[in-house]
Structure 1
Amino acid sequence: MAGLTTGGPNVDVSLLYRINSVARTAPDWLDRGVALLASYGLPLAMVLLVLWCWRGARRQDEAAAAESFAALVWAPLAAAIALLVNVPLRGFVARPRPFVAHEGLEVLGGVGVGPGAGFSFVSDHATLAMALGIGVFLANRRLGLVGIGLALAEGLCRVYLGVHYPTDVIGGFALGTAVVLVLAPLAMAGLTPLARALARTPRVGWLVRARGRVLARPVELAQRPAESDLAA
């Protein structure tokens, strides 16, 4: 397996050099910007996206709010599971970082990246970002597409920085997506009832549903015309 990943020129390596070659001709401020974006900017944007999605989910009716809240809880849990799955996977594949196996790369680095940063396949950053993006998609389709876009940008930045092959990123996307979607039915079956129960709790119910939004029950809606006739 390790031999497969350190072989001679192929599409994966060629694409790595093409993307990373931009860093050799780009100004220093752009390289620093991409490094900061990949290490801090995009992860922060993903966290803010999750919070924004949670803010909107709280304004829904109780059933929808509970489902959305459960999906948003599942997103980081699934991301953590995916990262745990990646630990033995990295050791099994044992793919060296591209700057170890190939010369002429512009290595810009980032958080947790260096000559002793471990194996390359699959990318933890890509795995985490895509798992969160897909998790948000389960709660809100529109915001989920934004999250998936952020994950794609994170993966591109990792290749630009010279710390991952394109297939490392693709593998991370696949791993994060698979963990979220395959385990989602089981996770949602357990988390949704908990979210509904939490929504009815006086002290912490606001986490699931905004207090100011109370929808009328069917019985109350049926009584309102009669009440208005009496008042008339």
Structure 2
Amino acid sequence: MSLPLATNEIEDVPDISIDWYRAVTGLAHDAPGWVQALADVATEAVILVFGALVLANLWRTRRADRRLRVLAFAAPAVTVLAYAISEVTKTFVEQERPCREVRGVVATIAECPEPGDWSFPSNHSTIAAAAAVGLAVAWRRLAVVVALLAVLEAFLRVFVGVHYPHDVIVGLLLGAIVAAAGMALAAKLAKTRLAALQHR
């Protein structure tokens, strides 16, 4: 006699991610109105902060040595690359947003994106992680601050109701891995180029 196979509540979505989503959005629903409003603004504002920091670093290093200038330009480049990979991944996975699929969830803070605006992985988390790694390498003094900002962004995407926890976790990992590899390559190229110039 064969036992029935266990099935997830939502196909291709881990049940634990659904449970965490319900818990976090429930917390958001019970939060004071000002917290909800702040979270709704912050989920987009954090990305703008990363953009401002990238621009500030480009300005800061405009007269620095070649290595720092290369790393400053590499930080936004790896962020764009990570975003592109995330966006392509979405088109293959085509996972619906939790605000459309999870039963029993009260109204979310953020408006649920249109159908076809896929959930996995989280672009915001990918961008935040990639920018954080890029800035941490190019501007080490900011490493702790940008790491915390990236984690905050990931949490907020679940808190406002537009992503599952596994969306943002994978987004963070994707952004960090792509950026780390890209920044390592940029540092190596800058070092090789500098060595070549010194031996002329």
Q: Same fold (TM over 0.5)?
A: yes
Partner letter of residue 80 of structure 1?
A: V
Residue 219 of structure 1 aligns with which residue? Answer: none
Equivalent-residue separation in structure 2 for 1:171 and 1:114 (angstroms): 19
User: In structure 1, what is the equivalent of residue 74 of structure 2?
Assistant: 74
1:81/1:36 CA distance change after superposition, 3 Å: same
The within-5 A match list for 1:115-194 is 115-116=114-115, 118-190=117-189
- Show the counterpart of 2:92: 92
Measured after TM superposition, the shift of residue 116 of structure 1 is 2.5
Secondary structure of 2:96's counterpart equals: coil
> Cα distance, 1:174 vs. partner?
0.9
- Residues 126-146 of structure 1: CA distance to partner in whole angstroms, max 9, x if unpaired? 001110000011113230221
Please give the alpha-carbon distance, in whole angstroms, between the structure 2 residues aligned to 1:71 and 1:45: 19
CA contact (8 A) 1:68 1:138 kept: no
Code of the aligned partner of 1:162: G
Q: Tell me if 1:43 matches 2:47.
A: yes
Say if 1:70 and 1:181 are closer, same or farther in 2 by CA, change over 3 A: same
- Separation in 2 of the partners of 1:162 and 1:117? 16
Q: 1:181 to 1:100 in 2, by over 3 A?
A: same
Bigger Cα Rg:
1
Measured in 1, the distance between the counterparts of 2:58 and 2:102 equals: 44
1:33 counterpart residue number: 38
Equivalent residues of 2:97, 2:163 under 8 A apart: yes
1:95–1:120 CA contact under 8 A, matched in 2: yes
Q: State the distance in 1 between where 2:80 and 2:58 align.
A: 19
Structure 2 residue identity aligned to 1:19? V
What TM-score, normalized to structure 2?
0.80
Q: Percent identity?
A: 27
Instruction: Go from structure 1 to structure 2 and tell me whether the alpha carbon gap of 1:134 and 1:9 turns closer, same or farther (over 3 Å shift).
Output: closer
> Counterpart amino acid of 1:157?
L
> What letter matches 2:85 in structure 1?
V
Closer, same or farther: CA 4–42 of 1 in aligned 2, 3 Å: same
1:133 maps to a residue whose letter is A
How far is 1:44 from its partner?
Answer: 2.5
Write the distance in 2 (CA, Å) between the matches of 1:171 and 1:44. 21
Q: Which blocks of at least 5 consecutive residues in structure 2 are unaligned?
A: 1-6, 195-200
Distance 1:153 1:5 in 2: 28
Letter in 2 for 1:79: T
Counterpart residue number, 1:109? 110
* Conserved? CA contact 1:135–1:144, under 8 Å: no
8 Å Cα contact 1:122/1:169 also seen in 2: yes
Give me the whole-angstrom Cα distance separating, in 1, the residues matched to 2:176 and 2:166.
15
**Distance (Å, rounded) in 2 between the aligned partners of 1:175 and 1:9:** 19
Secondary structure of the equivalent of 2:26? helix
The answer on whether the counterparts of 1:57 and 1:69 sit within 8 Å (CA) in structure 2 is yes
CA distance in 1, matches of 2:192, 2:9: 45
Give 1:70 shift.
Answer: 1.6
Change (3 A) 1:4 1:176: farther
